[in-house]
Amino acid sequence: MVFNVPFRAVIFDMDGVLFDSEWYYYHELAVFSDAFDLGVTEEERRHMVGNSSQNFFATIQAWWQRAGHGQIDAERVRKVYYDWAATRSMDYRELLNPGVPQALDALEAHGVRCALASSSPLESINQALDECGLRRSFETIVSGEQFRESKPNPEIYLHTLGALGLDAQECCCVEDSLYGIEAGCRAGLTVIAKREDRFGFSQAEADVIIDQIPDVLNIGERLER
């Protein structure tokens, strides 16, 4: 493959892009729902794909009350969820998408800067990057919990651009979910979508759709078609 990346930086989402974790969370949410008798539907689980942690926990609060379990505050709902999640086995090394380390190394070797802008909590981001030895690949790491609103609000991408000291025209982002694609578009970025057809959401607003992360290395050719 001929290297062709016409950008000074690539900004990556994490869940669903670097890791096949959205599919994992989608199934785990069904297990959580059953454990606490929340009655969460398949459609409701699909709607959570790509959502921010703030919206995720606010939605669990609403499900909790809908199920007749009474009122639960934000701090308590987080504790309930994280205590339950601690009993579940999750290994980011098993969820790492094929070719991710090699693609990041190739971008670095060609002088293309890499950043990470994820709606996930910083603790989860750090765990994923440390387990897979990817932290060194990212010049800037930004979490959606740093903002009042995460994706689809473009603020996380505008902040990342500021941290990089670059204009939107000089960068692209790699996303998968409807929320992330919308955020990238609203920030003025060229949006690359990693193909995802398991959840039923549209990726039509992306500038180009790729099948695997190493396809980023020749994205210039794809954009010229």
Question: Residue 132 is part of a domain; what is its CATH number?
Answer: 3.40.50.1000
CA distance 168 to 160: 10
Give pLDDT tens digits for 25-52. Answer: 999 999 999 999 999 999 999 989 888 8
Q: What does the alpha-carbon distance between residue 117 and residue 12 come to, in Å, rounded to a whole number? A: 6
Q: Return the pLDDT at 190.
A: 99
Enter the pTM of the model. Answer: 0.91
Give the domain range for residue 61: 23-85
For residue 56, being part of any structural domain is answered with yes
Q: Looking at residue 52, what is its pLDDT?
A: 80
Q: How far apart are CA 95 and CA 40, in angstroms?
A: 24
Alpha-carbon distance 207 to 82, whole Å? 36
The Cα 77–Cα 184 span in angstroms is: 30
Is residue 35 assigned to a domain?
A: yes
| pLDDT (0 to 100) of residue 51 | 82
pLDDT below 50 — which residues of the chain?
Answer: none
Domain finish residue from 85, 105, 136: 85
Question: Closest Cα to residue 177, out of 73, 49, 88, 27?
Answer: 49
Does one domain contain both 101 and 148?
A: yes
For 180, how many CA atoms within 13 A lie in the half-sphere containing its CB?
A: 34
Residues 115 and 203 in one domain: yes
On whether both 75 and 121 belong to a single domain, the answer is: no
Other Cβ atoms closer than 10 A to 110: 11
Measured in degrees and rounded to the nearest 5, phi and psi for residue 109 equal -60, -30
Take residue 104 and report the two structure tokens written for it: 């990041």
Same domain, 102 and 200: yes
What confidence score (pLDDT) does residue 83 get?
94
Query: Dihedral sign, CA of 44, 153, 162, 3?
Result: positive
**So what's the pLDDT on residue 50?**
84
Tell me, yes or no, whether 30 lies in a domain: yes
- Quick one: 101 and 60 in the same domain? no
